[in-house]
Structure 1
Amino acid sequence: MAAKKPKDQNNLALHKVIAVGSASAGKAALTLQFMYDEFVEDYELTKEGTYQKKIVLDGKRVQIDILETAGQEDYAAIRDSHFRSREGFLCVFSITEMESFAATADFREQILRIKDENVPFLLAGNKSDLEDKRRADHWNVNYVETSGKTRANVDKAFFDLLREIRARKMNGGGGGGKRKSSAKRIRERFCNL
């Protein structure tokens, strides 16, 4: 006989998030800080990881399911499947690497081919503990600067994204529609660097 789950286990709202970004932007560092309150200096993720955690969001217990992709975004079939199955996107770049910021436009474009433009999306400028090495600015979406090392704004990034997901669910938005405008329009949203 299978063990019974606690009564509230099945009643918790589940919010499915994916962390995307270029290699070494700090996706794993942010995810591990959020999950376990720790920074791993020499962490090398070679395959995707899924993490689940029960949290209290604005006074209500919810469950978050985070997929950290470890570079599998380069494989279109895997990427598209992951993007379809997720409700919110944490797009991470390093404030010290211009290339990782530039890559966020490609990630956003890939997401918008599968989801509509109102999909919950948070841009996280990571490595704020290296502020003196900053090389990037943000674009016109929700934005927060984080540090996987010092834990600065790690909870804020995930909780802000969860609030967007919840608001979208409450407004009946499915997030499955395709975006009709072109990639050029996405790139125009970037600030001049």
Structure 2
Amino acid sequence: MLFLSWDTMSQFSTNFLLVPIPEYPILDCAPNKIIKLVVLGGSSVGKTALVVRFLTKRFIGDYEANTGALYSRKFTIDGEQISLQVQDTPFVSLEDENICCQEQINRSIYWADSFVFVYSITDYDSYRVIRPLHQHVRKIHPNANIPLLLMANKGDLLRARQVSAKEGRQLANELGCPYSEVSARENCEGVQEAFKQLCQEMSRMIGSCNGEKRRGLHLVRPKSPNMQDLKRRLKQALSSKGKATTML
């Protein structure tokens, strides 16, 4: 298996696309060399654009509605061979100050051991989502020391700004995590550096375990990040409904 440095990834052609992890992947990295990262945030904040920038250094302006893709890359960081798994997610919303998210997002949170919270500087509601979203993650992982990153996206749209950099830094201080204001459209280096620092922190935490299994995290991978499980459930529900109609 080829392990890629950060610079090597950018040398691939346009055929270098994001490749979903197989349902039961065969990994040549030891379990303690796997970084499981989930990107979370509100609607239209640019989560997918940031993931694509991070993994490929490319920007694509238009995306289909996110269904929660899971991507895998291998690279070398601080001299260590690391398998990185990045879970993109559908959007999270607020209703009466309560988090509303799909079940697959909860599965992803259980699975992950590091998180990137994303909001848009042009959408104050997406900023408001972050605090209760963080509380939701902490309820799932109450005792775990989880590396976090707060990213404010769309930093190129200053005229449409609704969230100040000061508010972003204050929130990051409250969450106890680094803060980075970036633009997926125009700031490839900033996006790369922010993600890289989080991966470096996670790599150091893994190393401090001295090969022992990481504790406090639910490390079971979500069974169906590409919504195949949801499709199966829908098919079963339609089948049951059809049987009930026949009986009537």
The TM tier, using the shorter chain, reads 0.7 to 0.9
1:16, distance to aligned residue in structure 2 (A): 0.5
Match of 2:29 in 1: 11
Distance in structure 1 (CA, Å) of the matches to 2:66 and 2:181: 25
| Identity level (%) | 25
Query: How far did residue 72 of structure 1 move?
Result: 6.9
Q: 1:53: Cα distance to partner?
A: 1.3
**CA shift for structure 1 position 110:** 0.9
Name the CA shift for 1:54/1:168 in 2 (closer, same or farther; >3 Å).
same
Alignment TM-score, normalising by the size of structure 2: 0.62
The aligned amino acid for 2:122 is: T
Matches within 5 A, 1:1-193: 10-11=28-29, 13-71=33-91, 74-75=100-101, 77-115=103-141, 116=143, 118-136=145-163, 137-138=167-168, 139=171, 140=173, 141-150=177-186, 151-172=188-209, 174-176=215-217
How many angstroms apart in 1 are the aligned matches of 2:158 and 2:92?
29
Structure 1: which 5+ runs fail to align? 178-193
My pick for the range that moved more, 165-174 or 121-130, is 165-174
Unaligned runs of 5+ in 2: 4-26, 94-99, 219-248
Contact map agreement 1:72 1:78 (CA 8 A) in 2 = no
Give the C-alpha shift of residue 129 in structure 1. Answer: 1.5
Q: Deviations over 1:10-31 (max 9, x none)?
A: 1362101000000111100000
TM-score, with structure 1 as normaliser: 0.78
Higher alpha-carbon deviation: 138-147 or 22-31? 138-147
Conserved 8 A contact 2:144-2:215: no
Rg larger in structure? 2
Work out the number of aligned pairs and report it: 172
Moved more, 147-156 or 89-98: 147-156
Deviation at 1:81, TM superposition (A): 1.8
Amino acid in the other structure paired with 1:23: S
Alpha-carbon distance, 1:86 to partner? 0.5
Relative distance call for 1:146 and 1:59 in structure 2 (3 A) is farther
Q: Which amino acid aligns with 1:174?
A: R
CA distance in 1, matches of 2:179, 2:101: 27
Contact kept? 1:27, 1:92, Cα under 8 Å: yes
CA pair 101-168 structure 1, distance change in 2 beyond 3 A: same
Q: 1:125: how far off?
A: 0.6
Partner letter of residue 29 of structure 2? N
